[in-house]
Amino acid sequence: MVRLTNWIITLMLLLLLQGCGKIDRGYDIPIIDLSAETHRQVVVDRESGQYLGHPTTVLLDDQKTMIAVYPKGHGRGPIVMKRSTDGGMTWSERLPVPENWATSQEVPTIYRVTDPQGKGRLIMFSGLYPIRMAYSEDDGVNWTSLEPIGDYGGIVAMSSVDRLKNGHYMALFHDDGRFFENAGVRGKFKVYKTISTDGGLTWGQPEIIAEHETAHLCEPGLVRSPDGNQIALLLRENSRAMNSFVMFSDDEGETWTKPREVQGSLTGDRHTCKYAPDGRLVITFRDMAHESPTRGDWVAWVGTYDDILHGRQGQYRIRIMDNKKGEDCAYPGLELLPDGTFIATTYGHWEEGEMPYVVSVRFTLQEIDEKAASLSQTK
């Protein structure tokens, strides 16, 4: 009888654990909808008849100056740069940039780095073959031309850059076989890392850190654990057959766990992550969950690092803006101001029949919590 009871308890525990590990294609956490709250929205750039898309942003050391870069075109075209000196409330006119920035073939990405001597600089990448980079050592006032960082190419280069504990920088990108060696033939998706030991001026030969038998893994979005000792990479799944994926490293990117699917609540494209002052995570992306009322819109996820680690849905979904055309939006920048305000910036088809344009949206988690409480009371 005791053996039978123990067996039943063991079976129940196994079933419970299996249930905890269930991967949903949708989600049932609350959706907080900000899309109609136009007072939160600031137009960064708009041009009649011109497609403006795929911006990334960087917040400078003064914690109020932001720079945004984006192409005039869908993922390619001349790079535009704008500056805000008031935390994204207003934006400059388009700023002068080097002539060869007009030859960009991919989404530009921008980062702030520091070299071993303490010299700070901004670096900006433009992908496909070859991956090129420009840099500025005066907070983006003057820039170099785009120059190759090596004899290799890639897509959305670099989708993440992070400083390692030894002071080096790790940059991450992906390729589908067409551009890494300029072969021009689509094949297996692979995620690469490359290391800089001199504050982003030069980069080493890339190494493959992820590939999958059937999933098309790409656009790695990096976030560290709260104690800084683990790195998580959220990955777009481009075949659209599965949810997004995640993988982890406990040794500063030297080795990685096998990629595994995340919950539907985190499924999307181009995850961009920032911690709030209270330790919660805000991750913004294009919603590509298989079962979602906001699929194709610009959204954010609120939860904890442990939610990602343990495969939980998280706390909230935020619908930031309602995209009016298919799934053509997002690739967002995300910055956190000292007062706890998040500035999320991206492109989308925000008006029916109009070309996409670039918008920033402001919110705090206190506001999201209050809206969630109000939503709960009305049910």
pLDDT tens-digit series, residues 268-324: 999 999 999 999 999 999 999 999 999 999 999 999 999 999 999 999 999 999 999
Assigned token pair, 251:
């040794």
User: Can you tell me the distance from the alpha carbon of 171 to that of 131, in angstroms, rounded to the nearest whole number?
Assistant: 12
**Residue 354 DSSP label:** S
Place of tokens 């030894």: 166
Residue 21 burial (10 A CB sphere; 0-12, 13-18, 19+): exposed
Assigned token pair, 112:
């702030």
For β-strands 190-196 and 207-210, DSSP reports them as antiparallel
What integer pLDDT is reported at residue 379 of this predicted model?
64
- On the question of pLDDT at 12 being above 60, the answer is no
User: Can you tell me the distance from the alpha carbon of 119 to that of 291, in angstroms, rounded to the nearest whole number?
Assistant: 47
Taking all residues of the chain, what is their mean pLDDT, rounded to a whole number? Answer: 94
- On the question of pLDDT at 13 being above 80, the answer is no
Q: What is the CA radius of gyration of the chain?
A: 21
Assigned token pair, 170:
């790790």
User: Can you tell me the distance from the alpha carbon of 349 to that of 335, in angstroms, rounded to the nearest whole number?
Assistant: 22
Q: How many beta carbons lie within 10 A of that of residue 229, not counting itself?
A: 12
User: Can you tell me the distance from the alpha carbon of 40 to that of 44, in angstroms, rounded to the nearest whole number?
Assistant: 13
What integer pLDDT is reported at residue 376 of this predicted model?
78
Q: What percent of the chain has pLDDT over 90?
A: 92
